[in-house]
Structures are given as structure tokens and as C-alpha cells.
């Protein structure tokens, strides 16, 4: 070996040895770091219950008229925002105006009939007094004829005439008493009873009120704030009572999240949550748990599963959880019903191994809230 070769060999041996130590260190520290990170996540995870099976929901109302008729005006368009009380469309009110006028005339007719009944009651009472006096006279006359006939001073025909006159007077008295009773029944037993307390007047008043209400319902208004959905209603269309005219989606929004039953161990009403919708990635909405369904989603299906029959495979069920959104609109970003969302519920540390070892922390303050 020459002197030059001896100098080269130590120079190349040193870098090889350094690379060997670096490779060994990487093989040892790499798996150790991975195991450490995984162990730390296992020990500290579990605070948040999350799911991407969540959707924004809103109240939906189907607008339908309470009276039938031809549509004469449509005041809104599809996807137009409306406020409570705004006019949506109008139905031809002329037939309803005629019905209201007829009911008004009928009510006035009933009032006139009751006034006539009061006058008839007074007249019938006078007739009763007159017929009572006549009856007493005929009774006295009949008694005298009986006495005279007994003495033989009058013929039998005179006594028969007196008896006939007495019977006629009694019949007239009965007729007058019946007239008084009829007038009393029409007036509720007393002629001084106000019209408002009489059955006939109440019936006419109710019919008039119904006619006026129908006339008012000819103008259909928005029952709440919201946005008009898809509609094809046009002037000239005929709508029957209760026929769907247009949908109205309310501005009140919430999120229905379908969590696995195994994720709801520590979820309670009032816990804070965050919501992220697919439409606005990276933006979060603050919310809280408003309510938890009393049963799984399959229990509300038309044909619930019958697990007691046939072959059975265990499937993790999902429980609907309703989340109330704190501020549905922020920075001009608008949530709409049907949007897909990702939900994270903060349950505290009690669900993690370290949390259990340290003692369950008190979960975030549960607020008293009602489902929207």
C-alpha cells in the first residue's frame, strides 16, 4: 500500500460512519415519535364529539288559502324574501263581499223579528187581559142562565147559547196564553232580554262574523319571516280551500346532526358546539345542543327494523341531535336549509383516558335553551 492510498482510506471511512449513525438515529426516533404522537392523541382525545352526517334545517310552511276562489293578484315571486304580514296573493273577494252583505241583511232581519216579537208579546198580554175579562163575564152569564132555566123562566136554547159563549171565551183565553208563551220563547223567557243573549241573534251574528272572516282571508299573508320557495301560481288560477299554493321557508335555522350512539356518551343539552358547512370551508358558526332525540332515526321510519326475527347483524344506530345556531348570518354568509355541515360538540375532558385519571372536569356550562 502506498502512502497516498493510506491517506485516502481514513478520509472516506469517517463520512460512512457518520451516515450510519444518522440512519440508525432516524430508524429509532422515527417510530418513537409516531408512537408517542399516537399515544398522546389516544390519551388526550375524546373531548369533542364530531360527525359530518349533519344538515342545516329550517321550518317550512305550505301556504294554502282558507277560502276557495280565483286568484286575481300574486304579489311575490319565487325566492323572494318576505316578512310576517306581507301580502302573498289575493283571491277574488266579490263573492265573499256578497255573502257578507247577505249575512248583514239576515242579522238585521233577525233584529227586526225580535223587535216584532217584543211588540207581539205586549199585544198578547193585552189580549190575555181582555179575554180574561170576557171569560169572567161569560161565566157569570152562564151561571144566571142556569138559575133562570131552573126556575123555568128561559128556554133551553138560551142556556145552550150561554154555554157555547163560555166555551168560546175559554178557547180565546187559551189562544192568547199560547201567543204570550210563543213570544216569551222567542225572547228567551223575558221580553227585556238583550238581543246579544238570544240564540237567534247569536246565530246570525256568528254567520256574519264568519262571512267577514272569509272576506279577510281572501288576502293571503305571510305567517312568518322567510323566503318563498318554488311556485308557479299565476293570476287566473283557481284554488280550492286548503290547496297548496306556494312553500315558505322560515328564517329560523338549526342543524340536525345524526351522531353514532357510541359518540353520545357525554353529550348533554346545553353543551357548546361549532358548525362548519361545506359551502363556506374554514368558516365556523357557534351553536349549542338544543335537544337530543328520544329515539334513533330508524324508530321513526315507516317500517322500523324487526331485529327479533330472522338473521341479525348489529349495526351502530344514529341518534338525531338538534343544534341551535347562535348567529345564522355573519359577515354576509347566509346559511340555507339543506346545506351539509360538520359538527363538533365540546363535551369536556371526561371522555379521554387522561381526563378520567385526573378526574372528570366539569363540562362547559349548560345553558337553558329550547329547540328552535
Residues 25-47: tens digit of each pLDDT: 777 777 878 887 766 666 556 67
The pLDDT of 300-322, averaged and rounded, is 83
Which pLDDT does position 370 carry in this prediction? 42
343 and 358 together in one domain:
yes
Percent of the chain with pLDDT over 70: 80
The pLDDT of 53-69, averaged and rounded, is 94
CATH number of residue 326's parent domain: 2.40.30.170
What region, left, alpha or beta, does residue 86 occupy, with left being phi > 0 and alpha being psi -120 to 50 degrees? beta
Q: Are the C-beta atoms of residues 176 and 184 closer than 8 Å to each other?
A: no
More confident residue, 344 or 157: 344
The pLDDT of residue 221 is above 60? yes
Which pLDDT does position 71 carry in this prediction? 95
Burial of 191 (0-12, 13-18, 19+ CB in 10 A): middle
DSSP 309: S
The pLDDT of residue 5 is above 60? no
The pLDDT of 299-320, averaged and rounded, is 82
Q: What is the residue-averaged pLDDT of the chain?
A: 81
Which pLDDT does position 353 carry in this prediction? 56
What is the tens place of the pLDDT at every residue in 351-369?
555 555 554 445 454 444 4
What is the tens place of the pLDDT at every residue in 280-293?
998 999 999 999 99
226 and 281 together in one domain:
no
More confident residue, 168 or 194: 168
Length of the chain (residues):
372
Residue 190 three-state SS: coil
The pLDDT of residue 344 is above 60? yes
Q: How far apart are CA 264 and CA 259, in angstroms?
A: 7
The pLDDT of residue 14 is above 90? no
Among 70-74, 122-126, 201-205, 239-243, the minimum mean pLDDT is found in: 122-126
372 and 251 together in one domain:
yes
Q: What is the dihedral of CA 180, 185, 188, 194, to 10 degrees?
A: -60
Q: How far apart are CA 273 and CA 284, in angstroms?
A: 10
Question: Is 76 a member of any domain?
Answer: yes
Residue 104 vs residues 175, 207, 346: alpha-carbon distances, Å: 35, 9, 64
More confident residue, 337 or 138: 337
Q: How far apart are CA 345 and CA 348, in angstroms?
A: 9
DSSP 197: G
Per the structure, the count of domains in the chain is 4
The pLDDT of residue 371 is above 50? no
More confident residue, 201 or 24: 201
Q: How far apart are CA 98 and CA 211, in angstroms?
A: 9
256 and 369 together in one domain:
yes
Structural domain for 20, as ranges:
1-37
Question: Is 269 a member of any domain?
Answer: yes
Q: How far apart are CA 324 and CA 288, in angstroms?
A: 6
131 and 209 together in one domain:
yes
Which pLDDT does position 189 carry in this prediction? 60
116 and 227 together in one domain:
no
The pLDDT of residue 274 is above 80? yes
Question: Is 26 a member of any domain?
Answer: yes
Question: Is 205 a member of any domain?
Answer: yes
Would you place residue 320 in the very low, low, confident or very high pLDDT band (cuts 50, 70, 90)?
very high
More confident residue, 68 or 328: 68
Which pLDDT does position 310 carry in this prediction? 73
Phi, psi of 105 (to 5 degrees): -65, -40
4 and 58 together in one domain:
no
Question: Is 157 a member of any domain?
Answer: yes
Question: Is 11 a member of any domain?
Answer: yes
What is the tens place of the pLDDT at every residue in 82-99?
999 999 999 999 999 999
What is the tens place of the pLDDT at every residue in 247-258?
999 988 999 999
Question: Is 237 a member of any domain?
Answer: yes
354 and 292 together in one domain:
yes
What is the tens place of the pLDDT at every residue in 107-137?
888 888 777 777 767 666 676 777 777 777 7
Residue 297 three-state SS: helix
Q: Are the C-beta atoms of residues 215 and 125 closer than 8 Å to each other?
A: no
Question: Is 307 a member of any domain?
Answer: no
Q: Are the C-beta atoms of residues 181 and 115 closer than 8 Å to each other?
A: no
371 and 259 together in one domain:
yes
Would you place residue 188 in the very low, low, confident or very high pLDDT band (cuts 50, 70, 90)?
low
117 and 205 together in one domain:
yes
What is the model's pTM? 0.65
The pLDDT of residue 106 is above 60? yes
Which pLDDT does position 44 carry in this prediction? 54
265 and 232 together in one domain:
no
115 and 194 together in one domain:
yes
The pLDDT of residue 10 is above 70? no
CATH number of residue 234's parent domain: 2.40.50.100
Q: In terms of DSSP bridges, do strands 272-277 and 246-260 run parallel, antiparallel, or are they unpaired? A: unpaired
Tell me the helix, strand and coil percentages in the chain, rounded to 5.
Answer: 45, 20, 35
Percent of the chain with pLDDT over 90: 41
Amino acid at each position: 500500500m502506498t502512502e497516498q492510498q493510506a491517506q485516502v482510506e481514513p478520509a472516506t471511512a469517517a463520512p460512512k460512519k457518520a451516515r450510519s449513525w444518522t440512519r440508525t438515529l432516524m430508524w429509532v426516533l422515527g417510530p418513537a415519535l409516531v408512537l408517542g404522537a399516537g399515544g398522546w392523541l389516544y390519551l388526550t382525545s375524546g373531548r369533542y364529539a364530531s360527525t359530518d352526517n349533519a344538515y342545516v334545517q329550517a321550518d317550512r310552511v305550505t301556504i294554502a288559502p282558507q277560502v276557495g276562489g280565483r286568484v286575481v293578484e300574486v304579489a311575490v315571486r319565487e325566492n323572494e324574501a318576505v316578512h310576517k304580514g306581507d301580502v302573498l296573493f289575493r283571491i277574488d273577494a266579490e263573492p265573499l263581499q256578497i255573502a257578507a252583505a247577505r249575512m248583514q241583511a239576515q242579522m238585521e232581519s233577525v233584529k227586526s223579528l225580535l223587535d216584532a216579537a217584543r211588540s207581539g208579546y205586549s199585544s198578547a198580554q193585552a189580549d190575555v187581559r181582555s179575554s180574561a175579562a170576557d171569560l169572567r163575564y161569560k161565566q157569570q152569564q152562564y151561571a144566571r142562565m142556569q138559575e133562570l132555566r131552573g126556575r123555568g123562566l128561559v128556554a133551553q136554547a138560551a142556556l145552550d147559547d150561554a154555554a157555547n159563549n163560555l166555551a168560546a171565551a175559554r178557547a180565546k183565553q187559551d189562544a192568547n196564553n199560547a201567543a204570550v208563551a210563543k213570544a216569551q220563547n222567542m225572547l228567551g223567557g223575558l221580553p227585556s232580554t238583550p238581543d246579544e243573549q238570544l240564540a237567534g241573534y247569536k246565530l246570525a251574528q256568528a254567520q256574519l262574523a264568519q262571512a267577514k272572516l272569509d272576506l279577510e282571508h281572501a288576502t293571503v299573508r305571510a305567517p312568518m319571516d322567510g323566503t318563498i320557495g318554488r311556485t308557479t301560481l299565476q293570476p287566473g288560477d283557481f284554488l280550492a280551500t286548503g290547496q297548496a299554493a306556494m312553500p315558505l321557508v322560515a328564517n329560523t335555522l338549526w342543524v340536525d346532526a345524526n351522531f353514532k350512539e357510541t359518540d353520545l356518551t357525554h353529550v348533554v343539552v346545553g353543551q357548546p358546539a361549532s358548525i362548519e358547512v361545506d359551502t363556506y370551508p374554514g368558516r365556523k358558526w357557534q351553536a349549542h345542543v338544543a335537544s337530543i332525540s328520544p329515539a334513533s332515526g330508524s324508530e321513526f321510519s315507516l317500517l322500523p327494523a324487526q331485529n327479533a326475527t330472522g338473521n341479525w347483524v348489529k349495526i351502530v344506530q344514529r341518534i338525531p341531535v338538534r343544534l341551535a345556531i347562535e348567529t345564522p348570518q355573519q359577515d354576509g354568509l347566509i346559511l340555507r336549509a339543506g346545506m351539509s355541515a360538520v359538527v363538533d360538540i365540546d363535551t369536556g375532558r371526561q371522555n379521554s383516558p387522561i381526563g378520567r385519571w385526573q378526574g372528570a372536569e366539569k363540562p362547559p356550562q349548560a345553558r337553558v335553551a329550547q329547540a328552535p
